[in-house]
Amino acid sequence: MVKKEFPKDFWWGAATSGPQCEGRFNKNHANNFDYLFDTKPELFHDGIGPDTASNFYNSFREDIKMMKEIGMNSLRTSIQWTRLIADFEEATLREDGVRFYNDVIDTCIENGIRPVFALNHFDLPAELEHKYGGWLSKHVIDLYVKFAEQCFVLFSDRVVDWFTFNEPVVVVEGGYMYNFHYPMVVDGKKAMQAAFNLQVASARAIANFRKSNKNSLGKIGIVLNLTPPYPRSDCEADQQASFYANLFKNRLFMDPSALGAYPSELLEILKKDKVMWEASQEEYQVVKENTIDYLGVNFYHPFRVKAPELSSDALACDWFPERYFEHYEMPGRRMNMDRGWEIFPQALYDIGENIKGNYGNLPWFVSENGMGVSREIRWTNAKGVVEDDYRIQFVTEHLYQLHKTIAAGSNCFGYHMWTPIDCWSWLNSYKNRYGFIANDVHTQIKTIKKSGYWFKKVAESDILEVPQEIVDKFMV
């Protein structure tokens, strides 16, 4: 057994989101996922939508107490635009929404848990999609900034950690290219316009934060799903595919967020392919002047690419970034067979090195990392505890690699697993379970899993005990 000590004041916690945990109780407005379930419930696994989720709206006090029991010192969730705001144009407030988020914040603090808030976790008010075209609209940016300002004014006296968006690239890909999030449009040019508008919205929210924030300790960033695009081989074509994949999958949001500018190679491609966004010089200036204080990094599985089989000059086809690269499934890869995702903890070390080397060693934390497994009832013992040894091993391996990059000088200050309590996961609903705490969706009875007790020991000691077989696995 090898022991790895993490820094004092390290964030040990987990992440969830408003639309995935709260339920729709006492909301006057529908977000895009509420609307999609109302109109096409058959798209959702087992027909389970967001109506109840994990009942956090009603049980947050008990839930946060359980989070304290497993050693969490921080929790990231999100504020639902559709819960807090009564009138989107004027950003008037709903009294119950203000009461709810105040209570969540205060309950976290009372339990020694640092509240960390995202302002958007894929959830756009449905009426803004229908009335204005969602993130294709410059007016929606204005409305988002009004919402953000209300959050800062209301809560920044106690909340010091803010993030403008969670995984904005997923909004782009799911809503405008690959048809897995509402509005389910397939249009490359619209996708790139949405990407730019999301970036401008982030920068403008940051600018507003620096005027409206009430706390001298306050910071603001963005949460991105960063993954090195590992090429199939050293051949020039595969290396070129990796370069292009990095432009679209990582640097599309990372560079303007952290550096205030887009890669010139990306802009050249968009212009050449006639999918360039509409933008003003004023918008580029806002992006340049309002970079992030720190970064959240979501990582689940590696991203491997190879040179595309077809020419990027193919005709009569929709525009996708994948005209410049293709996904590659590496023979002999190690898998989470249940979820269908490759397991490659070494990527966390590479991510840390990338941030250190290319982004000024920006402060960052792992904002999501986790292992989704279906039918976890298979692993429940006679006492009703899920014996998720696979999750303990998964997190141990990723923390081992995270410690390695910290030891090498990367400025990482925390680790949040997805998720504290099994939550509702978009179209997959409750198919896969990720939490330290199990949730019976029928009774809403919640039970700490074996991994939750294990995590408590790690979090309270700042020490990770790594079995020798795991150490040996990475001795290459």
pLDDT the model gives residue 311: 84
How would residue 476 be classed by pLDDT, with cut points 50, 70 and 90?
low
pLDDT at site 475: 82
Mean per-residue pLDDT, 107-135: 98
Q: Where do the structural domains in the chain lie, given as residue ranges?
A: 2-473
Q: Which of 129, 167, 173, 322 is catalytic?
A: 167
pLDDT (tens digit per residue) in 11-28: 999 999 999 999 999 999
**pLDDT, average across residues 314-343:** 93
pLDDT at residue 316, rounded to an integer: 66
> What is the C-alpha to C-alpha distance for residues 382 and 364, in angstroms, rounded to an integer?
41
Structure-token pair, residue 431: 């198919």
**pLDDT tens profile 64-78:** 999 999 999 999 999
pTM: 0.98
Bridge partner list, 464: 4
Determine if residue 133 is left, alpha or beta; phi over 0 gives left, psi from -120 to 50 gives alpha, anything else beta: left
Confidence tier at 310 by pLDDT (50, 70, 90)? confident
Q: Tell me if 61 sits within 8 A of 112, measured CB to CB.
A: no
Class of domain 2-473: alpha beta
Mean pLDDT for the stretch of residues 57-62: 98
pLDDT-derived band at 63 (thresholds 50, 70, 90) equals very high
What value does the mean pLDDT of the chain take?
Answer: 97
At residue 54, the pLDDT reads 98
Q: pLDDT band for position 317 (50/70/90)?
A: confident
pLDDT, tens only, 387-445: 999 999 999 999 999 999 999 999 999 999 999 999 999 999 999 999 999 999 999 99
Calculate mean pLDDT across residues 251-264: 98
Active site residue 149: no
User: Residues 129, 173, 283, 368: which is the catalytic one?
Assistant: 368
Q: Give me the amino acid identity at 191.
A: A
Going from the C-alpha of 471 to that of each of 396, 455, 462, the distances in angstroms are 10, 19, 18
368 assigned to active site:
yes
Work out the average pLDDT over 264-281.
98
- Flag whether pLDDT at 457 surpasses 70: yes
Cβ 2 vs Cβ 471: under 8 Å = yes
- Give the whole-number percent of the chain exceeding pLDDT 90: 97
Residue 402 CB-half CA count within 13 A: 31
Tell me phi and psi for residue 233, to 5 degrees.
Answer: -155, 180
Q: How far apart are CA 20 and CA 39, in angstroms?
A: 18
